[in-house]
Amino acid sequence: MIEERFDAIVIGAGMSGNAAAYTLASRGLKVLQLERGEYSGSKNVQGAIMYASMLEKIIPDFREDAPLERHLIEQRFWMMNDRSVTAMQYRSDDFNEDKPNRYTIIRSQFDKWFSSKVKEAGAIVLAETTVTELMQDAYGKVIGVRVDREGGKIMADVVVIAEGVNGLIGQRAGLRDAPKPDQVALAVKEMHFLPSDVIESRFNIKGDEGVVIEAIGTLSQGMTGMGFIYTNKESISLGIGCLISDFAKTRISPAKLIEDFKAHPAVAPLIAGSEVKEYAAHMIPEGGYKAIPQLYGDGWVVVGDAAQFNNAVHREGSNLAMTTGRLAAEAIFQIKSRRDPMTKENLALYKKMVDDSFVMRDLKKYKDMPALLHTNSQNFFKTYPELVAKAMENFVRVDGTPKVEKEKATFKAWRAARGIRGLVGDVVKLARAWN
Ligand SMILES: Cc1cc2nc3c(=O)[nH]c(=O)nc-3n(C[C@H](O)[C@H](O)[C@H](O)COP(=O)(O)OP(=O)(O)OC[C@H]3O[C@@H](n4cnc5c(N)ncnc54)[C@H](O)[C@@H]3O)c2cc1C
């Protein structure tokens, strides 16, 4: 047993755990961070876009030495069918500012850097150490953790659970339920390596500029899901994720989805000649607001993916993880400064801070979106992308057919596929879920 007692133990060294451990240690608290991987980031998977303003609130000068890939100047939204892409694109030189807003990162490198900052701030970081369970007293108060090392019991005033989407430790202690299969997506991702000048000419960028492509449509074969393509310095991250409940129902394999995505006529030229060096699979919490578990109790708080903090509509996760990790640490610091105990009543401060932040306000805004997309996945991820593709083809093809007839054909196809009531109903449902 480690005899020392800590002010706080942080379980996990991903985005949320590192944000919490850094914030606690830099305010002078005695912090132990435990990570089951060989090092911080060794087990972590992300697309990965990193949102600068959330990291700036933790480490304002991070740009000086953080391993950043490209700063993003362009976002493309693709609606695909098997042969075509209908796209919306936003590109702006305003994103070529001194302090860019979003960067691509490679998590294994980025987390290692973040962890070095946690250590510099004074926390003890123990890698290759798995927390096996929370220790609770006779009244259920969390008083420390057990780890898979000899004699492994470690005591602390408060435990920050930053263990990621699986959340086994929280479940074992009865603090939360296992996420349901329709609340979690399984994503697969590949890294395609290419020389930087090839990436720059294929994506029409220069220097450290980068592009993001988010894609929905028949690539997910009617399942709730989407694909992504992100530019790094010398690689392209490409992946696709769908709800686990949809994979179970359709029996479609994620490997087949990613192969089809790569073979699409709009994608294949972007990655032609690349060398695939990494393949990863990971879960993403997608249940949104209604899936958020209890966030605090006597002696514990839960942050990041472990608390289902993920905005599936905007593809944001790491920023919610960093923010909730930071807010948990700030709440703990305030309680400690007052010399108050880490009781449930006092730790409710963390929930209040999250409620007041963009994290809860954004998730609340989209509270009905996960259920809507899941129950209408065939329409939103297959029927409409096919209809949009046909409408666009009809619109741009010049073949002597009068425009009036073209418009009638498009309208007929939409009405045949969904009916007038279905079309109006879908618009109303989508508009309601958006607000
Ligand atoms: C394919 C994919 C693409 C994504 N793309 C984006 C994106 O572009 N932008 C974005 O913002 N978000 C993205 N996300 C989401 C983002 O990755 C997560 O929201 C974020 O990583 C959550 O951070 P976290 O610290 O809560 O969890 P994690 O980063 O998963 O960290 C949890 C850590 O806890 C450790 N751990 C778990 N159990 C134990 C234990 N018992 N003992 C000790 N250590 C333990 C793990 O090893 C891990 O290091 C993506 C996710 C995936 C899967």
3-state DSSP assignment of residue 341: coil
20 Cα–ligand 1 center, Å: 14
Ligand 1-lining residues (CB < 6 angstroms) = 11-17, 34-37, 43-49, 130-131, 162-164, 169, 187, 189, 239, 241, 282, 284, 304-306, 310, 315-319, 321
pLDDT by 10s per residue, the chain, length 435: 566 799 999 999 999 999 999 999 999 999 999 999 998 888 777 778 999 999 999 999 999 999 999 999 999 999 999 999 999 999 999 998 889 999 999 999 999 999 999 999 999 999 999 999 999 999 999 999 999 988 789 999 999 999 999 999 999 999 999 989 999 999 999 999 999 999 999 999 999 999 999 999 999 999 999 999 999 999 999 999 999 999 999 999 999 999 999 999 999 999 999 999 889 999 999 999 999 999 999 999 999 999 999 999 999 999 999 999 999 999 999 999 999 999 999 999 999 999 999 999 999 999 999 999 989 999 999 999 999 999 999 999 999 999 999 999 999 999 999 999 999 999 999 999 988
Q: Which residue has the tokens 């509509």?
A: 313
Between the alpha carbon of residue 186 and those of residues 4, 244, 246, 286, the distances in Å are 39, 6, 10, 10
Nearest atom of ligand 1 to the alpha carbon of 317: 19
163 Cα–ligand 1 center, Å: 8
Mutate to test the pocket of ligand 1, among 46, 240, 244 (most ligand atoms within 8 A of CB): 46
Residue 44 main-chain phi, psi, to 5 deg: -100, 140
Mutate to test the pocket of ligand 1, among 163, 211, 237, 316 (most ligand atoms within 8 A of CB): 163
Nearest atom of ligand 1 to the alpha carbon of 239: 1
Beta-sheet pairing, 296-297 with 300-302? antiparallel
- Is residue 47 within 8 Å of residue 188, measured between CB atoms? no
Kindly state the tokens that stand for 75: 């976002």
85 Cα–ligand 1 center, Å: 30
Nearest atom of ligand 1 to the alpha carbon of 282: 53
CA dist., res. 66 & res. 63, Å (int): 6
Cα four-point dihedral sign 400, 382, 368, 324:
negative
Ligand 1 atom 32, closest CA: 164
CA dist., res. 230 & res. 214, Å (int): 9
3-state DSSP assignment of residue 193: strand
Residue 410's CB is within 10 A of a number of other CB atoms, namely 18
Q: Catalogue all structural domains in the chain, each as residue range(s) with its CATH number.
A: 5-68+105-179+288-365 (3.50.50.60), 182-285 (3.30.9.90), 369-434 (no CATH)
413 Cα–ligand 1 center, Å: 43
41 Cα–ligand 1 center, Å: 9
pTM score, whole prediction? 0.95
